[in-house]
Amino acid sequence: MLYSDKVMDHFRNPRNLGIIEDADGVGEVGNAKCGDIMKIYIKVDKGIITDVKFNTFGCGSAIATSSMATEMIKGKSLDEALELTNKAVVEALDGLPKHKIHCSVLAEEAVKAAIEDYYNKEGKIEKTEHSCSGCTGCCGM
């Protein structure tokens, strides 16, 4: 079986699909050339992510990892959300095939990009790491 039951569940029934028109932060990562783009929208109130939505262009694990990532940050504080790792996303999904791990890295990057965008908008610029936007393939995938 290519994907675990959890991955297939998040793929078939993605959580938090959609767009937030008046989002407080929007993060878009990946590129069409390599076949994966994730866009995450967040609403923030008093430092808590009160709502999150996503759109994804990509394969089964791309959709599943972005869905899981949004679930994991919903209702969390910005600091907690920044601590989200791709490893945690993969574990929560009961694992991903080796050649699909890079999708989970992209999901982590999308979350960070959304939060960075929020801070930018707030005028408080926090530097977060961005290894995936522009996709140089540096994760080796």
Partner 1 sequence: MRVYADNAATTKMSEIAIDTMISYMKNEYGNPSSLYEKGQRALEAIERARKSIAEVINCKPEEIYFTSGGSESDNQAILSATEIGKRKNKKHIISTAFEHHAILHPLEKLKNQGFEITLLPVHEDGLVRIKDLKEAIRDDTVMVTVMFANNEIGTIQPIKEIGSICREKGIIFHTDAVQAVGHIPINVLEMNIDMLSMSAHKFHGPKGIGALYVRKGIKLTGLIEGGAQEKGKRAGTENVPAIMGMAAALIESNNGMEENTINISKMRDNLMEELKKIPHAKVNGSIISRLPGNLNMCFEGIEGESLLLLLDDKGVSASSGSACTSGSLDPSHVLLALGLPHEIAHGSLRISLSEYNSEEEIMHMVKVIPQVVAYLRSISPIWNDLKEGRKEYVIQ
Q: Looking at the annotation, which residues are catalytic?
A: 34, 103
* CA angle, residues 85, 131, 109, in degrees to nearest 5: 40
Question: Binding to partner 1 by residue 141, rule CB under 8 A?
Answer: yes
Q: Which of 10, 23, 39, 96 binds partner 1 (CB under 8 A)?
A: 39
Stretch that binds partner 1, among 29-37, 42-50, 88-96, 123-131 (CB under 8 A): 29-37
Stretch that binds partner 1, among 13-21, 73-81, 112-120, 123-131 (CB under 8 A): 13-21
Kindly tell me the sign of the dihedral angle through the C-alpha atoms of 110, 112, 118, 122. Answer: negative
- d(CA 41, CA 104) in angstroms, rounded, equals 17
Question: Binding to partner 1 by residue 20, rule CB under 8 A?
Answer: no
Sheet containing 25-31: give its strands across.
25-31, 36-45, 48-57
Cβ 123 to partner 1 shortest distance, Å:
25
Cβ 61 to partner 1 shortest distance, Å:
8
**Would you call 125 exposed, middle or buried from its count of C-beta atoms within 10 A (0-12, 13-18, 19+)?**
exposed
Of the two residues 80 and 95, which places its CB atom closer to partner 1 in the complex? 95
Question: Binding to partner 1 by residue 19, rule CB under 8 A?
Answer: yes
Question: Binding to partner 1 by residue 11, rule CB under 8 A?
Answer: yes
Question: Binding to partner 1 by residue 112, rule CB under 8 A?
Answer: no
Place of tokens 């569940």: 9
User: What backbone phi and psi angles, to 5 degrees, belong to 13?
Assistant: -130, 70
